């Protein structure tokens, strides 16, 4: 059974690059905003966890015939982006703070997105097998010199670095501001950009919809849930300390379809409950337990949180959300358990917690989240006792990113270590996400062997854990 979980290794390489040009990209035609205009952002867009750039990278193998063909990649992407920025014009603006620290998009002359042209004397095959995120790819994502961490104000909202390799292949490194779109919204934009590059004419299907006022808070606000996902909790356990004080390492594991099915089956084995657990319920529960066990978190009565995003689009019925909306429509679901309960109870009980948190995201829960942020706007990320799982397997990221040179050989994130309490579930290449997934997570080096052992075991012995922690 352990063979169903395979650790995937990535090389530690140095990628020398030369930045050739920084090219502002303006919309190719008139847009629905003039200098001095501004756009409202909802509390879902403006929430503290969305105040980041999401970096992703896409690698393409392409046998260029000559330098003219190499240059055409940059021109094709540049021209297509300028056309797509007409309907997606908010991405050509900037963010600023207004009263009470709330953000809005504003427009002035000389803004736009940013494209970066770069070159590397390396060949793609020197980067190793391009199957899992690798922090060594960081030079392929552009950052301004001396750029402050988490800086989003007065920054281009889309930054795209095209790096041409000596072999003819290239990478597209994107930084997209999460305040403008969630994961599904980003895929919608990426699909439009790629389709436009491929066809040579503007393609948007569906047409993009802004309408962030759909998610305005109620007056007066009505907060119906405790929203543990945002609660300020003093770190009274060893969890956060062990991750932030000892430099964490990023680990990736291929999880077979058979192992996922076995986990789902084991999670469903209960006599007193009738629940239909999803693969995510079982996988999230199993990874959470394995991570906490490997970190040997103390004290055992400390309350831990598992948070994960739930797409709420299909929850909105009154009225429904317009097709083409690309803003943030995700809620953070939150499961809570003590360390002792998490490591000693059966997988079924942890999966039950994940299941209840997931199905608990309703239209009213989303509205309550919006009102909670309006009443008590979180100003910092809360890491106390928390693991956050992000599920990229639901994104058609490979399909969306065909700009005319075929689908990428890798598409996804690069480095989790800046936020070591985040775990990502990735599709493996172009494989069916129901087939195999890749789990990427951060751990102290001292805990990696234990984590792999626990992750590879469907049923982790509770008696052994009780003895160890009592």
Indicate which residues carry an active-site annotation.
Answer: 178, 402
- Is the Cα dihedral 202, 206, 207, 213 positive or negative? negative
Which contacts (CB < 8 Å, 24+ apart) does range 313-322 have?
Answer: 313/184, 315/361, 315/362, 315/363, 315/366, 316/363, 316/366, 317/363, 318/363, 321/214, 322/209, 322/211, 322/214
Rg, the chain, Cα only: 23
Omega of the bond leading into 206 within 30 degrees of 0 (cis): yes
Structure tokens at 299: 């004290």
**Cα-based distances in Å from 221 to 12, 24, 224, 227, 368:** 50, 41, 10, 14, 8
Check if the beta carbon of residue 199 is closer than 8 Å to that of residue 205: no
- DSSP assignment of 98-155: -GGG-EEEE--TT--EEEEEEEESS-GGGG--TTS--GGGGGGS---TTPPTT--TTS
428/439 Cα distance (integer angstroms): 10
**Cα-based distances in Å from 334 to 173, 275, 355, 362, 374:** 31, 18, 10, 13, 20
Neighbours of 48 (CB within 10 A): 15
| CA nearest to 410, candidates 424, 427, 422, 423 | 427
Partners of 58 in the beta sheet? 172, 411
């Amino acid at each position: 059974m352990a063979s169903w979980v395979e650790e995937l290794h990535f090389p530690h390489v140095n990628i020398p690059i030369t930045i050739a040009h920084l090219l502002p990209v303006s919309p190719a035609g008139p847009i629905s905003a003039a200098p001095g205009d501004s756009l409202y952002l909802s509390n879902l867009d403006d929430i503290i966890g969305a105040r980041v750039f999401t970096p992703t990278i896409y690698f393409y193998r392409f046998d260029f015939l000559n330098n003219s063909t190499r240059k055409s990649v940059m021109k094709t992407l540049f021209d297509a982006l300028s056309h797509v920025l007409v309907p997606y014009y908010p991405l050509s603006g900037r963010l600023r703070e207004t009263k009470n620290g709330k953000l809005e998009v504003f427009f002035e002359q000389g803004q736009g997105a940013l494209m970066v042209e770069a070159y590397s004397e390396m060949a793609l095959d020197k980067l190793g097998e391009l199957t899992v995120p690798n922090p060594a790819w960081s030079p392929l994502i552009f950052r301004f010199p001396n750029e402050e961490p988490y800086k989003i104000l007065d920054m281009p909202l889309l930054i795209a670095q095209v790096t041409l390799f000596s072999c003819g292949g290239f990478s597209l490194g994107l930084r997209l501001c999460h305040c403008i779109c969630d994961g599904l919204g980003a895929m919608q934009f990426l699909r439009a950009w790629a389709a436009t590059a491929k066809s040579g004419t503007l393609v948007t299907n569906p047409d993009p919809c802004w309408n962030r006022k759909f998610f305005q808070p109620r007056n007066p606000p009505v907060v119906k849930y405790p929203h543990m996902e945002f609660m300020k909790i003093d770190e009274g356990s060893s969890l956060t300390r062990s991750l932030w004080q000892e430099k964490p390492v990023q680990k990736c594991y291929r999880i077979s379809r058979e192992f996922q099915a076995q986990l789902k089956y084991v999670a469903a084995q209960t006599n007193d409950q009738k629940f239909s657990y999803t693969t995510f319920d079982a996988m999230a529960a199993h990874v959470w337990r394995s991570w906490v066990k490997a970190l040997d978190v103390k004290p055992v009565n400390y309350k831990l949180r598992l948070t994960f995003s739930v797409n709420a689009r299909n929850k909105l019925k009154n009225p429904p959300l317009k097709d083409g909306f690309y803003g943030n429509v995700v809620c953070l679901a939150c499961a809570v358990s003590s360390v002792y309960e998490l490591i000693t109870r059966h997988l079924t009980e942890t999966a039950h917690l994940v299941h209840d948190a997931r199905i608990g995201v309703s239209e009213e829960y989303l509205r309550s989240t919006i009102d909670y942020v309006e009443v008590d706007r979180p100003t910092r990320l809360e890491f106390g006792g928390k693991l956050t799982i992000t599920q990229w397997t639901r994104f058609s990221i490979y399909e969306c990113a065909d700009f005319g040179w075929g689908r990428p050989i890798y598409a996804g994130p690069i480095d989790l270590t800046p936020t070591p309490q985040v775990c990502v579930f990735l599709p493996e290449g172009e494989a069916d996400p129901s087939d195999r997934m890749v789990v990427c997570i951060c751990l102290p080096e001292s805990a990696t062997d234990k984590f792999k052992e626990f992750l590879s075991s469907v049923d982790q012995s509770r008696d052994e854990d009780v003895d160890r922690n009592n």
